Structure 1
Amino acid sequence: MPASITLSHLSWSAPDGRLLFSNLDLSFGAERTGLVGRNGVGKTTLLKLISGEIRPVSGTISVNGGLGVLRQSVQVAPQETVADLFGATGALAILRLAEAGDATADELASADWMLEARIALALNRTGLDVPAETPLAVLSGGQRTRAGLAALIFAEPDFLLLDEPTNNLDREGREAVIALIGSWQAGAIIVSHDRELLESVDAIVELTSLGATRYGGNWSHYRERRALALAAAQHDLADAEKRIAEVARSAQATVERQAHRDRAGRKMAAKGGIPRIMLGGMKERSETTSGDNARLAERRRAQALEDATAAREKIEILQPLSVTLPPTGLPASKIVLKMDGVTSGYRPGDPIIRDLSFDVTGPERIAVTGRNGSGKTTLLSLVTGDLKPWAGTIAVMTAFSMLDQKVSLLDPSVSIRDNFRRINPQADENTCRAALARFMFRADAALQIVSTLSGGQLLRAGLACVLGSAPPPLLILDEPTNHLDIDSIAAVEAGLRAYDGALLVVSHDKAFLESIGITRRLKLPAADPAG
């Protein structure tokens, strides 16, 4: 029987009672499926349901085949090694005993002499070249992700369940993982906002508050189909609103015609000559006709209102966020940032940045690139003043804002609205609300306490607070798209394209950098050849 995953009438509610899925029906075959949707819609939850980590409120999940699951982040113990991910620690220990001449006859008989080579091959498929005995604690988060994925493909499951597999990977790691998934011949369900990765899948399932929609084909095909669906929803809305107006006009015209007939009837009755019984019949018919007309108009109006509501819901889901930014007025000739011969790090004698010099002039858009561990975030810390140079000088000649991966500029104990007013003290309440609404924090959503936000909501809130009112002439961003859904990324890209200040951006997202019009790249040398 071919490998398959089938979800039937699946329902699940979050701990706070919010319904994520209701009577959801989905099926997955031996193909690579990208799972997309806005933050908080339940993509990771769906993977947990499929893997059995949590149970549905109702409905059934049928899995025919073996699963290999890659989590977004994994905590590791100090003694854990890469071999533990492969379940090969004991088998490798036997090989070490055999190499030392200390293995028993039974151990020699059970030894897998090709094990190390097969593990190395799996690691190389994810672009990782480390010994199997390497402690996981010494690897970066991106390296651990790649090692975990290598262990999954080593086990050859029927389905891979991958949750943001390219998050926190450097360019080399990202390309290796995308190539691996592109060549994967079994089933895979991949939660991702990485558009490069989604170009390599066979189908895309979009989760929304209305349910799930399957699109055959890759990201480009999905984007085209989605644009057609948006145009259709907008047409349906325009048609429904037109019918609402027509019903109102028609009802008014009917009322006026009936009133005219009634006046004429009253005039005839006043002149006399019409029997009383006929007058009573005429009045009854008039009242019946008026009632029938009113009920018909109300039915037509109710149907048109229902159609308009349905169309608006689709447009709300399908329409990307809209971001507009006030101008900064940064002159093209102004030196914004100057770094001259800078060396620095965190431990004396172990520099991460060495003798680095560069300038930023006017509204340049500079991408800071390099492998994991090369010092990209360290460079941003030097620019912001959080880290001091050991040698050389740094001069920032204008106001700036920094948005780091943890969005630490936000106070987690207060609301999004209060953070905005603190960061933008010159903005009035209307400006605040309008800016937050552009990033989908409308009405009571703007009053959410920051500590309760998901990762994607947190970054969206940070962007709203930094970009929403008076953007600074220099904007510094550290991996701004890591936890954003695809629609939010598109909105941020649109906003940054409209931004007329200088940009200093750390990002491994090639599509994002191309979209925001990067004009120069500053590549830092690798500090760790295995990074």
Structure 2
Amino acid sequence: MSSLVTFRNVSFSTADGRPLFTDITTGFGRERAGLIGRNGVGKSTLLRLAAGEFAPGSGEVVRTGVVGTLRQIVQVASHENVADLFGVRAVLDATARAEGGTGSAEDLAQADWTIEPRIDEALEQVGLAGVTVDRPLATLSGGQRTRAALAALIFAEPDLILLDEPTNNLDAEGRTAVARVLRDWRGGAIVVSHDRALLREMDRIVELTTLGLKSYGGNWDHFAAQKAEELAAAERQLENAQKETKRVDREVQLARERKARRDAAGRRNAAKGGMPKILLGAREDRAERSGGSANRLADRLRGDAAEALDDARAGVEQLRALRFEIAPSGLPAGRTVLAFDHVTGGPAPNHAVLHDLSFTIVGPERVALTGPNGSGKSTLLRLASGELAPFSGQVRRGRVTLLDQQVALLDPAQTILDNYRRLNPGESENGCRAALARFLFRADAALRRVGELSGGEMLRAGLACVLGGSAPPELLMLDEPTNHLDIASTEAVEAALNAFDGALLVVSHDSDFLDAVSITRRIELKG
């Protein structure tokens, strides 16, 4: 397979001089490659190098085809429409003038009577059938804009497309549309994603770590199986290294004990007399030299064993997933933790998005709140937490806590420890430190300001502050908790929530996450 973009001995450092990766050599061709790795390791930078937006610090990036990048649309101007996103407004205007009989010779040369049907086809591929070229971008939701940008990208027909977290903030329909586009794509694609369902559409997985790039044939499931095998092999290597270290220690100790016995016997014989002084001195010299040699050999053997042990331990730590612990809530099975009785409400006065809604969550149920973007999921969580009051009806709640996408209950100007103390005022200093340590914020890590944390660290800090204390909530509500997490952090959150004995109400379009936290039922909002 010929390469569309080739990295040759590429190294890159951040603006402050921190090396992101060193001496990377690899290539990407007409395939779908999923690029994964922990947050901050340099995945997005690798894409920008592939696109030519960044230049490597050393080495070279060679492109032999046209490279297109999915545009991330944050804000749009009021005059921008779908045609602007596709970059075809001038062609459409020229075509319209030519069709109306008012076009110039230049308009006739520029006109393309197939362009609108081809745009319609691209929009239909991403599930936006019926969206017209003159539709203002401001009237599309964020998820619809992302899908429209993907349609514009495939419409341009580059040889290689680069997608950076394309399913973030997309609902189930949007995620399905992105997966369908990639399934049908016949060019090359490099996809940075933590969406395991999307990664199942890949031809291979490329993992970027602090050690460099490693390629795995097959999709996400093949990758996960191979990583499990690597971890098992690394753990066997660690076990063998530990056994070898103990064996070396025993051998060295036995050798020293044997030498000590020989030396003691020699001293006893010398004390009896009968050996010439010159022979006695020579024997003592030999004993000292042999003792020195034995010590040097022992030190070398111990050093080799310790180095092998360190290497084996590092290999396991590199492969083993993060883990943190949650204290029990003691929630009894029959207690109602949340009840909506004929609730109507919305995010602003006279703007109801939920109408006459009733449901109950009892005991340690695990409930998924599903529905398309804009159907009122976040509004429901705000009503449930008490942040919003209903227009009509009643909300009854027990001890509930909401962790929204911004983890707004944390003060970004305070340290993690100060936030924990504020939210758990009855905890002792040792209790605070111990709780944060269970969520991997040990020693000085607990003194970092929340505003300086990554998205994954912030969610972990939020979980630590609400679940680490002696009285965790009976119901934990999470709004798209995996949006800004890498896969390792997502799996750590899944493991922790699986161990939580309280109730969960989760908004997530990540089906793998919902399966992993053992959702028992769903409340679907139609919109």
The TM tier, using the shorter chain, reads: over 0.9
- Which residue pairs with 2:237 in the alignment? 236
Cα 1:294–1:329 change in 2 (3 A) is same
AA in 1 matched with 2:76: V
State the distance in 1 between where 2:409 and 2:524 align. 27
Cα 1:379–1:314 change in 2 (3 A) is same
Q: What are the Cα deviations for residues 67-105 of structure 1, in whole angstroms up to 9, with x where unaligned?
A: 111255644333322222211111122233345443234
AA in 1 matched with 2:353: I
Percent sequence identity over matched residues?
Answer: 56
AA in 1 matched with 2:269: M
Instruction: Note the C-alpha offset of 1:425.
Output: 2.8
State the distance in 2 between where 1:11 and 1:446 align. 33
Instruction: Note the C-alpha offset of 1:2.
Output: 3.1
Q: Are 1:423 and 2:428 counterparts?
A: no
Q: Are 1:169 and 2:181 counterparts?
A: no
Contact 2:324 2:440 in 1 (8 A): no
Residue 351 of structure 1 aligns to a residue whose secondary structure is: coil
State the distance in 2 between where 1:20 and 1:439 align. 26
TM-score by length of 2: 0.94
State the distance in 1 between where 2:214 and 2:432 align. 35
Contact 1:7 1:26 in 2 (8 A): yes
Q: Are 1:447 and 2:474 counterparts?
A: no
Cα 1:10–1:487 change in 2 (3 A) is same
Cα 1:349–1:420 change in 2 (3 A) is closer
Contact 2:325 2:439 in 1 (8 A): no
Calculate the aligned-residue CA RMSD, in Å: 2.0
- Which residue pairs with 1:223 in the alignment? 224
Moved more, 339-348 or 284-293: 339-348
- Which residue pairs with 1:301 in the alignment? 302
Q: What are the Cα deviations for residues 290-347 of structure 1, in whole angstroms up to 9, with x where unaligned?
A: 1222112212211222222222222222111223322212222222222122222245
Cα 1:223–1:433 change in 2 (3 A) is farther
Moved more, 73-82 or 229-238: 73-82
Residue 339 of structure 1 aligns to a residue whose secondary structure is: strand
Q: Are 1:500 and 2:493 counterparts?
A: no
What is the correspondence of 1:417-496 to structure 2 with a 5 Å cutoff? 417-469=417-469, 470-496=471-497
Q: What are the Cα deviations for residues 471-496 of structure 1, in whole angstroms up to 9, with x where unaligned?
A: 20011110011111111111211222
- Which residue pairs with 1:257 in the alignment? 258
- Which residue pairs with 1:90 in the alignment? 90
Moved more, 89-98 or 300-309: 89-98
- Which residue pairs with 1:378 in the alignment? 379
Residue 53 of structure 1 aligns to a residue whose secondary structure is: coil
State the distance in 1 between where 2:122 and 2:38 align. 33
- Which residue pairs with 2:104 in the alignment? 104
Residue 402 of structure 2 aligns to a residue whose secondary structure is: strand
Q: Are 1:188 and 2:151 counterparts?
A: no
What is the correspondence of 1:320-339 to structure 2 with a 5 Å cutoff? 320-339=321-340
Q: What are the Cα deviations for residues 247-266 of structure 1, in whole angstroms up to 9, with x where unaligned?
A: 22221221221121112222
Instruction: Note the C-alpha offset of 1:451.
Output: 1.3
State the distance in 1 between where 2:345 and 2:415 align. 36
State the distance in 1 between where 2:498 and 2:160 align. 39
Instruction: Note the C-alpha offset of 1:108.
Output: 2.9
State the distance in 1 between where 2:160 and 2:473 align. 47
State the distance in 1 between where 2:212 and 2:96 align. 53
Cα 1:105–1:358 change in 2 (3 A) is same
Instruction: Note the C-alpha offset of 1:405.
Output: 0.7
State the distance in 2 between where 1:73 and 1:315 align. 40
State the distance in 2 between where 1:240 and 1:430 align. 36
Residue 132 of structure 1 aligns to a residue whose secondary structure is: coil
Moved more, 218-227 or 240-249: 240-249
- Which residue pairs with 1:57 in the alignment? 57
TM-score by length of 1: 0.94
Moved more, 406-415 or 106-115: 106-115
What is the correspondence of 1:145-156 to structure 2 with a 5 Å cutoff? 145-156=146-157
- Which residue pairs with 1:366 in the alignment? 367
Contact 1:236 1:307 in 2 (8 A): no
AA in 2 matched with 1:106: E
Contact 1:66 1:158 in 2 (8 A): yes
State the distance in 2 between where 1:206 and 1:36 align. 5
State the distance in 2 between where 1:518 and 1:316 align. 30
AA in 2 matched with 1:95: T
- Which residue pairs with 2:518 in the alignment? 517
State the distance in 2 between where 1:73 and 1:450 align. 27
AA in 2 matched with 1:11: S
Contact 1:71 1:163 in 2 (8 A): no
State the distance in 2 between where 1:303 and 1:322 align. 31
Contact 2:415 2:446 in 1 (8 A): yes
**How many aligned positions are there?**
525
Contact 2:330 2:501 in 1 (8 A): yes
State the distance in 1 between where 2:435 and 2:122 align. 47
